């Protein structure tokens, strides 16, 4: 597999879930890594292990501040832009802040990368861009109408990326992540993602609550597959593979009922009582699409993407981590 090695790489949002996993891999491959983060949702403990590494630099700053972005991109070969305010419900509660960070912050990063002569800019796009499209599996060129402010911000990123690539001759690639999960994903707070939230509830022997009857499905994607996709996007040479967007997923869908069954089964290996925790159901949440499933053909063909972890394999890894770190 092509790897990102011996480069100077800026990871924005590096104190977050995906960013900290990218940094961990990049430092292991002899890169110099700069992390730009304002700790809005990221955690210091996620990057604490890197502080002693002479190849790691933290810039505490905000992507809404152009000077911070310019400082962070100075001398950098590759940007892996992860900083954003995630969560659809957060953007529904506070659309202005989500827009400021996800759109204005994004343009700041593009301008800074352009002016610093960054060679490759890879950014976190989102499956939410498929909006109300009923098409399954999702293919990159068929999208629907956005269903949330968050989805708009992520789609606007794609529009800006395309225009910047053309106007300023930049090399930019967007990765539409599908429901990523794994070590260091935050289980706490109102905007926590479903897998860490349910794992934590089950470890605490509290009933996870499924919104709806549990038949909704998602293409849950283990973090190591996402790290692979970022490295491939950062290093691909073929012109037709650059200045475009890719689905990043495993390419299978799992219902919430299946998910909770597997979580209980795998956690019961650590504590057999967890098998008896009841799953509860509440009303469906507005704005939730029923099914999400990616076609990963484009990434396979143009990036040589080959996701190594199925959802079940990823869940086992993630559960091991949460068991060691939450207990
Ligand atoms: N986790 C998923 O399933 C998923 C799915 C699709 C897209 N994404 C995208 O992937 C990226 C990373 O998501 P994550 O799950 O790691 O979330 P996260 O919240 O763990 O990480 C985001 C990081 O960005 C930082 N940040 C936020 N606002 C900032 C600002 N103004 N300036 C500097 N840093 C800022 C946060 O402090 C945090 O460390 C985001 O762009 C998100 O929209 C994630």
Which residue ranges make up each domain of the chain? 8-180+223-252+294-310
Does residue 174 have its Cβ closer than 6 Å to ligand 1?
Answer: no
Backbone angles phi, psi at 102, to 5 degrees: -80, -25
Mean pLDDT across 284-309: 93
pLDDT at position 20, please? Answer: 98
Residue-wise pLDDT for 217-236, tens only, equals 999 999 999 999 999 999 99
Q: Report the mean per-residue pLDDT for the chain.
A: 97
pLDDT at position 284, please? Answer: 86
Q: How many Å lie between the centroid of ligand 1 and the Cα of residue 13?
A: 6
Does residue 20 have its Cβ closer than 6 Å to ligand 1?
Answer: no
pLDDT at position 72, please? Answer: 98
Spatial separation of the C-alpha atoms in residues 180 and 321, rounded to whole Å: 15
Domain range 8-180+223-252+294-310, CATH class: alpha beta
Mean pLDDT across 269-297: 92
Q: Are 261 and 99 in contact (CB under 8 A)?
A: no
What order do you get walking across the sheet with 244-248 strand by strand?
A: 56-60, 32-37, 8-12, 78-81, 120-126, 172-177, 244-248
pLDDT reading at 71 higher than 80: yes
Residue-wise pLDDT for 78-120, tens only, equals 999 999 999 999 999 999 999 999 999 999 999 999 999 999 9
CA 323 from chain centre, in angstroms, equals 22
pLDDT at position 100, please? Answer: 98
Confidence class for position 1, pLDDT limits 50, 70, 90: confident
Confidence class for position 206, pLDDT limits 50, 70, 90: very high
Question: Ligand 1: which of 11, 34, 42 to mutate, judged by most atoms within 8 Å of the beta carbon?
Answer: 42
pLDDT reading at 239 higher than 90: yes
Spatial separation of the C-alpha atoms in residues 117 and 97, rounded to whole Å: 29
Q: How many Å lie between the centroid of ligand 1 and the Cα of residue 14?
A: 8
Q: How many Å lie between the centroid of ligand 1 and the Cα of residue 40?
A: 9
| Stretch (H or E) spanning 211 | strand 209-211
Residue-wise pLDDT for 18-65, tens only, equals 999 999 999 999 999 999 999 999 999 999 999 999 999 999 999 999
pLDDT at position 285, please? Answer: 78
pLDDT at position 176, please? Answer: 98
| Stretch (H or E) spanning 66 | helix 66-73
Q: Are 102 and 40 in contact (CB under 8 A)?
A: no
> What end-to-end distance do the CA atoms of the chain give, in Å?
35
Residue 292's nearest CA partner among 262, 248, 260 is 248
Does residue 101 have its Cβ closer than 6 Å to ligand 1?
Answer: yes
Does residue 105 have its Cβ closer than 6 Å to ligand 1?
Answer: yes
pLDDT at position 288, please? Answer: 77
Does residue 180 have its Cβ closer than 6 Å to ligand 1?
Answer: yes
Q: How many Å lie between the centroid of ligand 1 and the Cα of residue 86?
A: 5
In Å, the largest CA–CA distance within the chain is 59
pLDDT at position 238, please? Answer: 98
Instruction: Give strand pairing partners of 22.
Output: none
């Amino acid at each position: 597999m092509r790897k990102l090695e011996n480069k100077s790489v800026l990871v924005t949002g590096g104190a977050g879930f995906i960013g900290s996993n990218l940094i961990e891999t990049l430092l292991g491959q002899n890169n110099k890594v700069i992390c730009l983060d304002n700790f809005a949702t990221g955690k210091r403990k996620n990057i604490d292990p890197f502080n002693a590494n002479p190849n790691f630099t933290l810039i505490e700053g905000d992507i809404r501040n152009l000077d911070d972005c310019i400082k962070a991109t100075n001398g950098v070969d590759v940007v892996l832009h992860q900083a954003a305010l995630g969560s659809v419900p957060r953007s529904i509660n506070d659309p202005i802040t989500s827009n400021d960070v996800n759109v204005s912050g994004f343009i700041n990063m593009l301008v800074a990368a352009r002016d610093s002569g960054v060679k490759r800019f890879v950014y976190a796009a989102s499956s939410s861009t498929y909006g109300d499209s009923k098409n399954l599996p999702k293919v990159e060129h068929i999208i629907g109408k956005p269903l949330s402010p968050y989805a708009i911000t992520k789609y606007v990123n794609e529009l800006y990326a395309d225009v910047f690539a053309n106007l300023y001759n930049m090399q930019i690639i967007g990765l539409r992540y599908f429901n990523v999960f794994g070590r260091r994903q935050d289980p706490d707070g109102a905007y926590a993602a479903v897998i860490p939230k349910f794992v934590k509830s089950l470890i605490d022997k509290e009933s996870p609550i499924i919104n709806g009857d549990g038949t909704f499905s998602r293409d849950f994607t283990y973090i190591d597959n996402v790290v692979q996709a970022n490295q491939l996007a950062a290093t691909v040479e073929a012109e037709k593979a650059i200045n475009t967007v890719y689905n990043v997923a495993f390419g299978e869908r799992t219902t919430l009922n299946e998910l909770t069954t597997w979580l209980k089964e795998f956690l019961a290996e650590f504590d057999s009582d967890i098998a008896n925790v009841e799953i509860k159901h509440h009303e469906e949440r507005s704005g939730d699409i029923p099914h999400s499933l990616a076609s990963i053909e484009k990434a396979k063909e143009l990036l040589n993407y080959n996701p190594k972890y199925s959802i079940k394999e990823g869940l086992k890894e993630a559960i091991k981590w949460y068991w060691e770190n939450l207990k």
